[in-house]
Each structure stands twice: as C-alpha cells, then as structure tokens.
A and B are shown apart, each in its own frame.
Chain A
C-alpha cells in the first residue's frame, strides 16, 4: 500500500494528465514506439501502393520491347484529352450539385424532426439512419423500379391520363439527374446525422425568447439556429462533397453516358488495361477532391466568421 502514498497527486488541469515530468519523456518515446506497427502496416498495404500510382502517373507505363503496339500514355496526354476534360467537369459538377442538394434537404428534414416534432419522429430518423449502412448502388436499382422509364410512377401516370402521357418522368436512365437523385437520397443521411446532434444541443429557450421578441420562424432559423449549427453543416457537407467526388456504385449502375472520374478509372484499368492512364486519372481525382475540400473549408470559415460578427455586433 506504500505505492499509494508515494504517488504524487494527479495533475489537475491537464486533460488526461500524466503523473510527473521525468517519467513523461520515457512515456512519450514509448507512445511513439506503440504507434509504429499500425503505421508500418498501413504504409506497406496502402501508402506504398499509392506512391506507385503517383509514380506511374508521372512516368507513364514503360515501353514494352516485345509489344510495340502497347499504349504508353503520359500524364500530359491524359490531361490534354478532351474526353478526360469532360469527365473532370462532370465529376466536379455532380459533386457540387449533390452536396448542395443534400445540405438543403438534410437541413430541412432535420429541422422538422428536431423543432416541429411529431409522434414517431425518432423512428423515422432511425429509418433514415439505416440508409447509412446500405450499399449505395441499391438506391439506383430501386429508383429505376420507381421512377424509371418503365417504372411504377410512369405506369400510374399513363393509366391516369388514359395513355396520353406515356412517360412523363423520363430522366433516370438518360440524364445526369438520375444520378443526382440517387446521390441526394443516399448522402442526405450523412448530413442529417451531425445536424440532428447539433440541433439537440441548442437551448430551446433561445428560440422561445427570439419568438417572443417577435421574430418569425424564418428569422429564428437564419439568425439563431443556423449560426449554432454551422459546424455541423460544415462537417456533413465536407464529408458528402468528398464522398460524391469519389462515388462509383451509383454512377456505374445508372449505365448512362454520363461518366465521372472513378468510373473512367475502372474502365481504363479493367477494360483497356491502361494502368498508366488509370493512374493519371487517379492522381487527378485525388488532387481534385482534396482541392475542392480545401476550397469548401475556406468558404465556410469565411461565412461563419462573417455570421459570428453579425450576431455579436
């Protein structure tokens, strides 16, 4: 029991406070030692392969003396190709549109669940949560059954109008809007989850004070709820932006002519066995998604800075 009396009292203010200074140094090097095995593992299984992708993208595939017809695409060739440019444009466009859609819809739905509660609201939000654990391509399959060219809604519309309007909804298979709708459905829960958490932490007294001072619902949302929820909007939005940039299942299941980078990468590598081209596209995709992410961060930081100032003024 002497050990107890010998130990110094735990440092109060330091979070997770460590005992004393001399033991600290040994602890710290030990901590580094402990963190090396998982990093080495990840390095061998993922970081080194990723480095090879970047390397091959820059160098192009080595010319093969036994096969003079082998394609040796370089990074610049891929970047200059007008087809690639269209795909890059598509990828950015789809990610931005989907993210905006998810943020608007997710904010609206979370707002109603949290502040205009109805019986069963919790069960409904649980149900939407289940979508998080679904494979994304399921959404494409099911909206084709529902809103596709020969889907349920078109049949009902056709029956109601006596066959005069056969296919009033005709965009799922033939336009990017089908992909957009599927991404909207699949990624909205990713926005709702952090928003619901943030809304539950807002003091409802604040809303009542604002309302009693004569603020209408719109103003309460804009000036009280939104500033409080902005970190959650940011968290959900940045995640969705990244995920939509990188989405493969939804786009490839639609089978439309609309291609995004991940689909083209798969096509290059598996169907054309053009690894160098695929690597070049992969590098472009990674750089783009990181750049878009950074841009979004800057935009939001500026926005929240402005709002804070307005609120405190």
Chain B
C-alpha cells in the first residue's frame, strides 16, 4: 500500500485506467471490430459483415494459415529439443568461461535483428554446396534459430531453479544418469518445457522480419499475407485474418497451459 487517502488512490486508478484503455484495451477492441466491418466511414462502422471472416478462410489466406501452423509447430519442437539439450548441457559444465561462452552463443539470435538472421541465411544458402534459397526449409530454419534462443533462455532459468536434492537422492539410490534425467529431471522441468513450447509457437506465428527475407511464393506465412492484404488496401480482411490468427494462437497457448503434471501440484 502506497497511497493512504481515498482521493490519492482514485487519482492513481484514473491514471491507470486512462493509459490502459487508450493504449491496450481500445487498440485490441478496434481490431476485433474491424474484423467484422463491412463499411467504415464515420466514427463507428456503418455496417457489419461476416464475409471478412469467411474471406479469411478462403483458399488464399488459408494456405498461409497451414504454412504458418506447420512452420510454427516444426520450429518450436526443434527449438524445444535443441534448447533443452543445451540448457541441460550448460548446467553440467562447471567451467565459468565455458558457461558464459555457451550462454552468449545461444543468446546471440536475440541480440541480432531478425532481418539479419534472414539475411545471413540468404547469403549462406544462395550459393555453395547447400542451396536452400526459395525452399520452405530455409523459412523453418530461420524460425528455429530465432525461437531456440528463447527456449534456451526459459529452460535454462528453470534448470538453475531445480532443487539438486532430487537428482542427488535418485543418484544415491543407484539411478544411472540417463534414468535420472528421464524420470526425475525432465518431469520436474515439464512445466517450463510446455511453457517455452507455447512461447516459441506464439513467437513463430507472429514472426515477420526474418520471414520477409527468406520466404518464397509457395511458402508464405500468415503475417506476410496480412502485410500484403493491408498493402493492397483490404484492411478489414487483414483484420479478420489477424483475428483468426490470434484466436488460433491463443487456443494453442491455452491447450498447452492445460497440460498439467504432478510437478504443478508440488
């Protein structure tokens, strides 16, 4: 408690409500409104329609949805495996310099602009022995690189919070390291793993910078389609596709957060 008079509290709440409505609630609401708008000439839409939503599910943007889902799923699973692996390996490394080195290398994709991640892949795989320019592999690769950094960060934080007593107890009872990993450590880490899977999925669904560099005509993700729709003046269809994308992302996030384990109940 910081403010003790009723009046001061009210002022603080009014300030909060002002910024919250203007900057967070209204922009969100307006986007949903636009998704159902047919014509918008005045302050509020003059007529509403469902045709934007049906248009969003029409063949062209729907291909984008499928592309986005496949890309997000593949890259978040890759990120989870690589990120968890390296987080666990990092935990075992005792050398301070080595630890910092691994951390820096894995955090680098966050420090580098996503556009540059795309550029680097373009430069490396447009010539030479491995040609990937224009394939869907390069898009999945770009997404995987970007989200692995986040997966590593999340899982690594959870690993350091892990109580070593469980692992030691298992080891003292004669459990081999791989058994301890499989039956003790990973189950304890499961909430962090599902959490970072959800984060990676959401980030990949909304990725624009790197994808804009490496996409090809037959592997165009939803954000790029929305960009194109917006550019051609179809704002309401763009808003509808956006609403569909947001709904699906949120549904996946919710579904993942429902995965409960015994670790949650500890």
Secondary structure type dominating chain A contacts = helix
Interface residue? B187 (CB, 8 A): no
Which one of B9, B86, B95 has the highest number of Cβ atoms from chain A below 10 Å of its Cβ? B86
B residues with CB within 8 A of A: 1-4, 8-9, 12-13, 15-16, 19-20, 23-28, 30-31, 33-34, 42-44, 82, 85-86, 88-95, 98, 102, 105-106, 108-117, 119-125, 141, 144-145, 148, 164, 167-168, 171-174, 199, 202-203, 205-209, 212-213, 223, 226-227, 230, 235, 238-239, 242, 245-246, 249-250, 253
Instruction: Select the stretch in A78-86, A275-283, A305-313 that faces chain B.
Output: A275-283
Binary interface profile of A, 232-252, with partner B (CB < 8 Å = 1, else 0)? 000000000010011011001
Note all chain A residues with C-beta closer than 8 A to B141: 45
Q: Closest 9 interchain pairs by CB?
A: A135-B206, A35-B89, A246-B113, A49-B124, A248-B209, A31-B92, A49-B120, A133-B202, A155-B43
Q: Are A53 and B116 in contact (CB under 8 A)?
A: yes
Q: A105-B19, A207-B2 are in contact. Are A46 and B122 (CB under 8 A)?
A: no
19 contacts between A and B (CB under 8 A): A17-B168, A19-B171, A28-B94, A42-B106, A46-B108, A48-B124, A49-B120, A108-B15, A108-B19, A124-B20, A137-B223, A141-B31, A142-B27, A145-B235, A185-B27, A217-B3, A252-B227, A266-B209, A293-B111
Q: A133-B249, A249-B208, A265-B119 are in contact. Are A155 and B42 (CB under 8 A)?
A: yes
Interface residues of A in 159-189 (CB under 8 A from B): 159, 184-185, 188
Closest to B4 in A: A211
Q: A38-B82, A133-B202 are in contact. Are A142 and B30 (CB under 8 A)?
A: yes
Q: Are A275 and B123 in contact (CB under 8 A)?
A: yes
Q: State in angstroms the CA–CA spacing of A249 and B24 once bound together.
A: 18
| Known contacts A4-B174, A35-B92, A116-B12; 10 further A-B pairs (Cβ under 8 A) | A16-B167, A46-B145, A48-B124, A109-B16, A133-B203, A137-B226, A146-B26, A159-B43, A221-B2, A269-B213
Q: Are B168 and A10 in contact (CB under 8 A)?
A: yes
Shortest distance in angstroms between B158's beta carbon and chain A's nearest beta carbon? 14
Interface residue? A41 (CB, 8 A): yes
Closest to A24 in B: B94
Contacting residue for A31 out of B94, B117, B213, B235, CB 8 A? B94
Q: State in angstroms the CA–CA spacing of A143 and B26 once bound together.
A: 9
Interface residues of A in 96-139 (CB under 8 A from B): 105, 108-109, 111-113, 115-116, 118, 124, 127-128, 130-131, 133-139
Q: Are B91 and A16 in contact (CB under 8 A)?
A: yes
Q: State in angstroms the CA–CA spacing of A246 and B148 once bound together.
A: 18
Note all chain A residues with C-beta closer than 8 A to B167: 16
Binary interface profile of A, 32-53, with partner B (CB < 8 Å = 1, else 0)? 1011011101100111111011
Note all chain B residues with C-beta closer than 8 A to A289: 111, 113
Q: State in angstroms the CA–CA spacing of A7 and B168 once bound together.
A: 11
Note all chain A residues with C-beta closer than 8 A to B173: 4
Interface residue? A204 (CB, 8 A): yes
Q: Are A248 and B123 in contact (CB under 8 A)?
A: no
Shortest distance in angstroms between A216's beta carbon and chain B's nearest beta carbon? 10
Shortest distance in angstroms between A47's beta carbon and chain B's nearest beta carbon? 7
Q: Are A137 and B208 in contact (CB under 8 A)?
A: yes
Q: A49-B124, A135-B207, A208-B1 are in contact. Are A266 and B212 (CB under 8 A)?
A: yes
Q: A39-B102, A135-B205, A282-B119 are in contact. Are A115 and B1 (CB under 8 A)?
A: yes
Note all chain B residues with C-beta closer than 8 A to A207: 1-2
Note all chain B residues with C-beta closer than 8 A to A293: 111
Q: State in angstroms the CA–CA spacing of A275 and B153 once bound together.
A: 31
Interface residue? A70 (CB, 8 A): no
Note all chain B residues with C-beta closer than 8 A to A52: 120, 123-124
Note all chain B residues with C-beta closer than 8 A to A249: 208-209, 223
